[in-house]
Structure 1
Amino acid sequence: MSIVFRDVREHELDSVLALNNAAGPTILPFDQARLRHFFETAEYFRVAERDGTLAGFMIGVGSDAAHDSSNYRWFRERYPHFFYIDRIVVASRRRGGGVGRAFYADAQSYAELRYPQLACEVFLDAAADPTLPDPALLFHGSFGFREVGQQLMPETGLRAAMLMKDLCSYPWVRDTYGEALPAEPWLIVPRTARTPQRATGTGA
């Protein structure tokens, strides 16, 4: 069956938490309070559903978000306007089946209408074999990301490669539509715009 992408639902948060914390060293764990913060404030918090089951999730925020990640702050200090992918997790049984690449395509289709750049990071110290090229860097490189720096995360001691991708459609969209995008069903409305009451969450 095809992969269906949609906004996360509140009753799915326990499953998302379990999926995140079972993902291994490439994904930082979080607790219920931080997950709730993302649910209440993240501009993009979507799940992938395949065969009626949760296949993964992705969380993203814009460059004006109240986000306390040191990697996010690294980008904020250097770039004025971008969309940041905080994390993507694919269920172990679904890895290698195209869910991750489809997620990045979904996130880009959202971001390129609103931001000139897409940002994320890869943990370099989490590679299974540090003597070999990191497959995560290969994956991101094949999707158009380039490394723009590295940082040693103060809260974890992990070294991260900081990646950016220019979104070539953004200048045309900005010059043609400004911030008034057409009211078309295929244009994903930001979660925080649809549910403004969720914009008051505090960080964990």
Structure 2
Amino acid sequence: MSIVIRDVREHELDSVLALNNNAGLAILPLDAHRLHLFYETAEYFRVAERDGNLAGFLIGFGSESQHDSSNFAWFKQQLASSFFYIDRIVVASRRRGGGVGRAFYADAQSYAELRYPQMTCEVFQDHGADAALLFHGSFGFRELGQNTMPHVDVRASMLAKELCSYAWVSDTYGGKLPDVAWARGRQRPAPALQPAGT
């Protein structure tokens, strides 16, 4: 009954897409093209396995990425320092309440605090947000403000959390982390080759 968090594999993208689009109103739908773009560009894209089955996923971007989310842009405008942005987390309905979300947030924080002073995310306000706000509050997130997302007319509570270990890691290692497995970043796929003349 253990939970394993690991980098996503390309052949799992169809399953990730189905999880996303069956998650309900608390998450925006995706199409295969946009998910593949996330696969190629996301700094953090991990899945959870429980009992050998896909139980969820989490996608995150560093503040210097070219991510085009309006919520990501909101954080870039509001925050003076760099940050790690959780774009989306989805846990399979049959696995909710079983610790998968907490395992993801622990893993994402372990990744982020080596690289960023803050972690950010949003919770949609219009679809019964109390449980999600309580979950994030229990991890130390606080609301910085609210943002209404254009084109989808969804209001989001914009949350941030200070990562207390970042200053020590930055002072001690100066941006050059030791080469140990748990501190390594995601090995992103090589970009697709463009045909000549395009």
Q: TM-score, normalised by structure 1?
A: 0.91
Runs of 5+ unmatched residues, structure 1: 128-132
Q: Is residue 43–residue 185 contact of structure 2 (8 Å, CA) maintained in 1?
A: no
Q: Structure 1 93/200 Cα, relative in aligned 2: closer, same or farther at 3 Å?
A: farther
Shift of 1:200: 8.9
Q: Compute the TM-score of the two structures, normalised by the length of structure 2.
A: 0.94
Alpha-carbon distance, 1:190 to partner: 3.1
Q: Taking CA–CA contacts closer than 8 Å with sequence separation of 6 or more, which of the two structures ends up with the larger relative contact order?
A: 1
Please state how far the C-alpha of 1:199 moved relative to its aligned partner.
8.9
Structure 1 vs Structure 2 CA RMSD: 1.5
Q: Does the 8 Å CA contact 2:118/2:163 hold for their aligned counterparts?
A: yes
Which stretches of structure 1, 4 residues or longer, exceed 4 Å deviation after superposition? none
- CA apart distance, 1:198: 3.6
- d(CA) in 2 for partners of 1:13, 1:65: 21
Counterpart of 2:8 in structure 1: which amino acid?
V
Paired residue for 1:146? 142
Indicate whether 1:126 and 2:127 are aligned: yes
1:21 corresponds in structure 2 to 21
Aligned CA distance change for structure 1 residues 7 and 198 (closer, same or farther; 3 Å): farther
1:135 aligns with 131
Q: Quote the Cα distance in structure 2 between the aligned partners of 1:58 and 1:102.
A: 11
1:183-202 aligned at under 5 Å gives the runs 183-192=179-188, 195=189, 197-198=190-191
* Matched residue SS, 1:115: coil
Percentage identity across aligned positions?
69
Q: What secondary structure is seen at the aligned counterpart in 2 of 1:77?
A: helix
Corresponding residue to 2:171 among 171, 175, 180: 175
Q: Once the 2 structures are TM-superposed, how far is the Cα of residue 191 of structure 1 from its aligned partner? A: 3.0
Q: Using the TM superposition, give the Cα deviation of residue 123 of structure 1 relative to its aligned residue in structure 2, in angstroms.
A: 0.2
8 Å Cα contact 2:7/2:186 also seen in 1 = no
Q: Give the 5 Å matches for 1:1-204.
A: 1-79=1-79, 80-127=81-128, 134-192=130-188, 195=189, 197-198=190-191
Distance of aligned partners of 1:200 and 1:120 in 2 relative to their CA distance in 1, 3 Å threshold:
farther
